Amino acid sequence: MLIKISDKSSEEFYTPIPEGYKAGKTKYVIITGSVISGIGKGVFSSSLGKLLLDRGLNVTQIKLEAYLNVDSGTLNPYRHGEVFVLDDGSETDMDLGSYERFIDRNLTGDSFITSGKIYKGIIEKERRGDYLGRDVQFIPHVTGETKMVLRNLAMKSKADVILVEIGGTVGDFENMFALEAIRELRYEDGEENVCVVNLTYILEPSSVGEFKSKAAQLGIKRLIEMGIQPNVIVCRSENPIPNSIKEKISMNVNVPLDKVIGAHNLTNIYKIPLFLRKQGVGDAILDILNLKNKFGKNGDKKLKDWTQKMTVENPSKEITIGIAGKYTGLHDSYISILKALEHCGAKTNSKVNIKWIETTALEKGKGEAKKEMKGVDGLIVPGGFGTRGAEGKIACIKHARENNIPYLGLCYGFQMAVIEFARNVCGLKDANTTEIDQKCKEDVICILPEQEELDGLGGTMRLGGYDVFVKEGTQAFKLYGEKKIRERFRHRFNVNTKYIDVLEKNGLVFSGNAGKKRIMQILELPSHPFFFGTQFHPEFTSRPLKPNPCYLGFVKACLNKK
């Protein structure tokens, strides 16, 4: 039962509550990690969402991230992986992409909160005098506003269960705000309404030759020291762990043995939801939340069918896709692209291999496009910013265009394709983008007019979902089958309208645009087997069993070439 709380400045129980909120109407599953980072909390949370959704629950998800950035928009991909853009324009952690793909729902900015966003809101309230002269403190104000975020999401989504992933690892100083808020949430809403799942890592040192659980025990005890007793322990490991390890953990951290569950590595992430179901994760959580009688028997056949369709056991063909970018040292920088290709592989019963092409090296003369692209059946040039690696991308695009290799250009890859075509087909030898050279003579790519007066970087691009109007009779129309589609954007620059006529006169077709605004959004080359570019990011809307049409058309073209 929700304890009596107030948002009055004179009371210690400062906890703002949305009007009409009732404890227990929406329940919470909290996912934390211990021992090390990178053990798959995001994939686990996504898989758990899929598992519960297929059992008939209304599920939504949220990530509480520790860093002080207000959002992920200004982060270098090498720091935190891909920036995933939601339909409402929110720039988020890549885990939000995983959530959307597994539960097949569009999320909003309400599902991504950073400590920076919490603190920014608190400072703005304090400056307005909303705290009525009270000294603003970590407890109760930071934790109170964090709980308000979760309860607001409960009211807006009307979900049966909200999955809450806490970024970082138990013991990190920066995520204390989230963990303390969770402790208070359970205290206020009642233990039967908040289930805490801790993903811990079980070490298997090669020099010892056996599993060691001491680090896991200490990590979980750190969580308990903070006043949070976990309900379920999921033991991540390279290989299946013996029952003796589960028994040690159960005894040392006060979690029943049937709620200590092993989760070793699998070859295919799309098998994880069904695997977790078979391991009893769903039953354990529903039991703790008193939902087992209501949702205990749903979802088996549906989940098995989904898993089977997303598993390619005996591929009929095999292709290799070259990805030419400048962040190839961290594959998470392009995670949505990789997942979109996986969706196409399942749809076409084919195996899609990746060859990484580091365009910075090409630009510095450490290789040539022809050699780097040897053996590829198709080329993708992904999004990016700045000068580094740009000429290497242009060289790869030229090779793909001249040798009839299927090409898919995404955002920056769309712009680089325009520059390559302008230089080598239209004869505009000085063609470039003002992002690289502000004084270039042939600025075929220039900044969007509405971007010219902006000062800051964060959240100021053309972001989120926009309508794209598709010309009939084009390849784009053939792929989508509709005259108006919706895709997600993240850019400041576009095709300079002064050059559209000369580009089209020489054979380039702009088959998608923004309608009233003359912003070119899809390009294609009819004389080529598949030469296609999008100013938007089609990978952000690709889902298991529903690959984005751009990617599916590209992969089919690669298979036909093979």
Instruction: Using the 3D structure, point to which of 309, 333, 361 is the last residue of a domain.
Output: 309
Instruction: Report the half-sphere exposure of 528 (CA within 13 A, side-chain side).
Output: 26
Q: Is residue 370 part of a domain?
A: yes
Calculate mean pLDDT across residues 179-198: 96
State residue 452's pLDDT score. 60
Calculate mean pLDDT across residues 26-36: 96
Q: Is the pLDDT of residue 382 over 50?
A: yes
Q: How confident is the model at residue 300 (pLDDT cuts 50, 70, 90)?
A: confident
Q: What is the pLDDT of residues 308-349, one digit of tens each?
A: 999 998 899 999 999 998 888 888 899 999 999 999 999 999
Q: Are residues 534 and 393 in the same domain?
A: yes
Q: Are residues 250 and 329 in the same domain?
A: no
The tokens describing 411, both together, are 């955002």
Q: What is the pLDDT of residues 242-252, one digit of tens each?
A: 999 999 999 99
Q: Is residue 176 part of a domain?
A: yes
Q: Are residues 287 and 341 in the same domain?
A: no
Residue 229 belongs to domain with CATH number:
3.40.50.300
Q: How many domains does the chain have?
A: 2
188, 342, 487, 539: which one is catalytic?
Answer: 539
Q: Is the pLDDT of residue 3 over 60?
A: no
Q: Are residues 537 and 511 in the same domain?
A: yes
Q: Are residues 247 and 336 in the same domain?
A: no
80 carries an active-site annotation: no
Instruction: Yes or no: say if 61 and 107 are a contact pair by the CB < 8 Å rule.
Output: yes
State residue 455's pLDDT score. 59
Q: How confident is the model at residue 518 (pLDDT cuts 50, 70, 90)?
A: confident
Calculate mean pLDDT across residues 287-292: 93
State residue 426's pLDDT score. 96
Q: Is the pLDDT of residue 148 over 50?
A: yes
Q: Are residues 266 and 414 in the same domain?
A: no
Q: Are residues 401 and 345 in the same domain?
A: yes
Q: What are phi and psi of 261, to 5 degrees?
A: -125, 135
Q: Is residue 403 part of a domain?
A: yes
Instruction: Report the half-sphere exposure of 323 (CA within 13 A, side-chain side).
Output: 24
Q: What are phi and psi of 82, to 5 degrees?
A: -60, 145
293 CB-contact burial (10 Å; exposed 0-12 / middle 13-18 / buried 19+): exposed
Instruction: Using the 3D structure, point to which of 287, 309, 331 is the last residue of a domain.
Output: 309
| Range of the structural domain that residue 434 is part of | 317-561
Q: Are residues 274 and 293 in the same domain?
A: yes
The one-letter amino acid code at 31 reads I
Q: What are phi and psi of 390, to 5 degrees?
A: -65, -45
State residue 78's pLDDT score. 75
State residue 5's pLDDT score. 47
Q: Is residue 3 part of a domain?
A: no
539 carries an active-site annotation: yes
Q: Are residues 257 and 338 in the same domain?
A: no
Question: What 8-state DSSP symbol labels residue 88?
Answer: T
Q: Considering the entire predicted model, what is its pTM?
A: 0.92
537 carries an active-site annotation: yes
Q: Are residues 222 and 332 in the same domain?
A: no
Instruction: Yes or no: say if 321 and 341 are a contact pair by the CB < 8 Å rule.
Output: yes
Q: Are residues 80 and 166 in the same domain?
A: yes
The tokens describing 526, both together, are 């009819």
Q: Is residue 13 part of a domain?
A: no
235, 344, 396, 411: which one is catalytic?
Answer: 411
Calculate mean pLDDT across residues 507-532: 94
Residue 369 belongs to domain with CATH number:
3.40.50.880
- 495 contacts: CB under 8 Å, gap ≥ 6: 415, 418, 444, 445, 503, 510, 519, 520
The tokens describing 250, both together, are 């159960």
Q: Are residues 333 and 368 in the same domain?
A: yes
